[in-house]
Every structure is written in C-alpha cells, then in structure tokens.
Amino acid sequence: MLNSLGLSYNDVSVKVTSDVYNALPNKPYCSDSKTYAIIRSKYYAQDKPYIQVNNPNLKRYLIVDIDEQDAYSTLLDSRLPQPTYISINRVNGHLQCAWKLRDAVSTSYNSRVAPMRFLAAIDAAYNYRLGGDASFGDCLAKNPLHDRWYNEYYDTEYTLHELADYVDLREKDASNVAANDDVSGLGRNNTVFDVARKQAYKMVRKAVSKPQFQSWQTDILACCESLNKQFSKPMQHNEVKNIARSIARYTFKMWAQFVHSMDNFRAIQAVRGAIGGKLGSNKALSGAKGGAKSKRSGSVKKDDLLSKVLAMKSLHYNHRAIAEDLSISASTVSLWLKAASS
C-alpha cells in the first residue's frame, strides 16, 4: 500500500524511525522502566523501551501521553491531525502519540519566548482534547524504535500554525488549559524556565565577583526546584536539572560580558546630552507595548531600562526578545544599542 507520496508503509517506517534516531540527543536518558533513568549514548539507548526523544534545549516532537484503555479510539475521535508516530502498550492499550515539528522549537536560555509559549499553548490544547496525562513531561517517553510497543508510523510533519489550526486556543476550555501552566509538561517547563532565568539574571547583576560554576548551578537548581514544588504535579527531577543546567551554563559564561556592559552603560550616561536625549526620549518610548509609555516615564525608569537592554544584549538576547521581555518596541532597542556603540 502506498501513501500520497508514493511511499510504501515499510519505506515510511524506515524514514520515520531514521528521523527519530537522528533527532535523539547524543546522550539521552533511557531506561527499561519508568521508575529510573540512566544516561547512555543514543546507539546504546535506542535498544531501551523508554528514551528521551527530544533534546533538552530543542523540541522536535510534540508528544502526548494518553493513559486509558481505549486511548486509540480517543485519538481517532479527536479530529486532530495524523501523528507522525503512535506507540501503544500491547498490554493495557495506553499510548503516546507524537507530531513532528517542521521547525524545531529552541528552549535554551537565550531562545525567543514567543515560539515556546505558542508551543506550550498548543501542547495544552492537545492534552485537553485527548485527556492527556498532565504529569508527563517527555523526558522519558515510549521509544518508537522499540518492539515492546506496537508502533505505527506516518510520514507527517507540521508547523506550529498548522497544529494550532486543529484547536481553537481562544475557546473557553482550551484557553483555560493553555493559561494553566500546571496542566501540561511544556507549560510547567516553560514557566520554570521563564521565571528562573529572570531570577538568574538578577543574581548576575548582584554578584560582586565571578562565582564558582558548581555553586552557581546549585543555586539556580534550588530556584528551579522551589518553583517546581509549587505545581500540583511537579516535573521529574531530571527535567528540572536540565532547565537549571541550561540557565547556569549561559549566565555563568556571560558574567564578564555583563560587567563590561555595565561599564558601557556608565559611559553612555556621560554622553546622553550629546545625542539629544534620544536614548530616553518619550518619543522612543512611545513604541512600548501594552500602553507601557505611562509606566516608563521619568529618567530613573529610562536609565534602568537602558541598563537592562545593555545587560540582556551582553547575554546574547536578540532585539525582539529584549523588546518582549522589557515591554518596549524593537525599534527602541535598536536605537539605544546603536547609540551605545557609537
């Protein structure tokens, strides 16, 4: 039997399993059961029934876990797009289904926030539609390469917008789920990542000397664990460790650059008058989002914003990410950074 592209099912199976294997982390978590996890090379890990499908900092597959005996019927009745693969427990009928993203979503420390939030909202809506397990965080998933599961493969991939077309993120039930970070794994991951990275940013600003990496990572892990405990269904410890490690690695490397940016800021303050006050003009701030113009008035506010722009740029944020985080326009960010470099 051929699909719409003229590929036999065997050809599709080879393609999908090859794509999954190539997308695996080099050293994924893997296990023979859900009660523990070890880290091994993906060549070794592919033979384990449970495996970490997505990279810690890159989401290639949207995975939903359905823990009910009639899970397959639930999926068929869901009116959602055809998954890329389905892994079914041969004993109890529970399954995991995954949709391959045409463009993987980066979830690293300096990634754009908007795509992560969009993916988290889609994940929440799909979980709601399918009655997905809220405690599943995809750090350890059913391995679609393993024959413990009955696996079905389909040659499909989707953009985020294509996935979103099958659910209404504005309807009452879906929007409530998408807004509730406690519902899905990506929502919890996104919340801890978002809050903890901002805490780490403040810690960088307050540090008088460069810290030891191990103690730095321990402090950030403690922050992440504290946030995770606030959820009714916390993420697994390994997931929290991955988030903390990502944040710690980037902020630790950028500490010296942050100090340098603060020196630049003091120099800019000295020449503010020479550029006609453009750095802090109300006109430049008029592009702030959500009516932020009135909230940003006053030289103290402007100076504080400028220091944050410089600091975030030193941490390799792009202009759009800086603008989103500080609720100012991207053109304002560009203007200030251009003046800072002149």
- Give the mean model confidence (pLDDT) for residues 277-301: 46
Percentage of residues in the chain having pLDDT higher than 70: 73
8: phi then psi, degrees, rounded to nearest 5: -75, 165
Sheet holding 85-89, edge to edge: 58-66, 95-106, 85-89, 149-153
- Give the mean model confidence (pLDDT) for residues 284-308: 54
The answer to the question of residue 1 being in a domain is: no
Intra-chain end-to-end CA distance of the chain, in Å: 65
pLDDT at 290 (0 to 100): 44
Query: What residues contact 254, with CB distance under 8 A and at least 6 apart?
Result: 204, 314, 315, 316
Tell me the pLDDT tens digit for each residue of 68-89: 988 999 999 899 999 999 999 9
In terms of domains, do 266 and 234 share one?
A: no
Tell me the pLDDT tens digit for each residue of 120-132: 889 888 988 998 9
pLDDT at 186 (0 to 100): 65
In terms of domains, do 324 and 334 share one?
A: yes
In terms of domains, do 91 and 217 share one?
A: no
The answer to the question of residue 89 being in a domain is: yes
In terms of domains, do 259 and 322 share one?
A: yes
pLDDT at 315 (0 to 100): 65
- Give the mean model confidence (pLDDT) for residues 308-335: 81
- Give the mean model confidence (pLDDT) for residues 146-173: 87
Torsion of CA 247, 138, 232, 192, to 10 degrees: 10
In terms of domains, do 149 and 22 share one?
A: yes
In terms of domains, do 53 and 133 share one?
A: yes
pLDDT at 100 (0 to 100): 97
pLDDT at 292 (0 to 100): 42
Query: What residues contact 237, with CB distance under 8 A and at least 6 apart?
Result: 225
- Given a cut of 50, whether residue 291 has pLDDT beyond it is no
- Given a cut of 90, whether residue 325 has pLDDT beyond it is no
Domain, as residue range, for 63: 9-117+129-161
- Give the mean model confidence (pLDDT) for residues 174-201: 64
The answer to the question of residue 169 being in a domain is: no
- Is 0.75 topped by the overall pTM? no
- Give the mean model confidence (pLDDT) for residues 264-293: 45
Residue at which a domain ends, from 236, 253, 270: 253
Domain harbouring 229, CATH code: 1.10.340.50
The number of helix segments (H) and strand segments (E) in the chain equals 14, 8
The answer to the question of residue 111 being in a domain is: yes
The residue with greater pLDDT, 37 or 191, is 37
Helix (H) or strand (E) holding 243: helix 237-253
The answer to the question of residue 47 being in a domain is: yes
pLDDT at 169 (0 to 100): 80
Residue at which a domain ends, from 228, 253, 278: 253
DSSP class of residue 82 equals P
pLDDT at 128 (0 to 100): 87
Tell me the pLDDT tens digit for each residue of 155-166: 999 999 999 999
- Given a cut of 70, whether residue 58 has pLDDT beyond it is yes
In terms of domains, do 153 and 24 share one?
A: yes
Number of domains in the chain: 3
In terms of domains, do 308 and 206 share one?
A: no
The answer to the question of residue 192 being in a domain is: yes
C-alpha–C-alpha distance, residues 229 and 232, integer Å:
8
pLDDT at 170 (0 to 100): 62
Residue at which a domain ends, from 232, 253, 274: 253
User: Quick count: other Cβ atoms within 10 Å of Cβ 148?
Assistant: 15
Question: Mean pLDDT for the chain?
Answer: 78
C-alpha–C-alpha distance, residues 23 and 55, integer Å:
8
In terms of domains, do 89 and 217 share one?
A: no
The answer to the question of residue 2 being in a domain is: no
Tell me the pLDDT tens digit for each residue of 227-275: 888 777 788 888 888 888 888 887 776 665 555 555 554 544 544 443 4
The answer to the question of residue 56 being in a domain is: yes
C-alpha–C-alpha distance, residues 188 and 227, integer Å:
9
Contact 123, 184 (CB under 8 A): yes
pLDDT at 60 (0 to 100): 96
In terms of domains, do 307 and 227 share one?
A: no
In terms of domains, do 65 and 133 share one?
A: yes
In terms of domains, do 13 and 157 share one?
A: yes
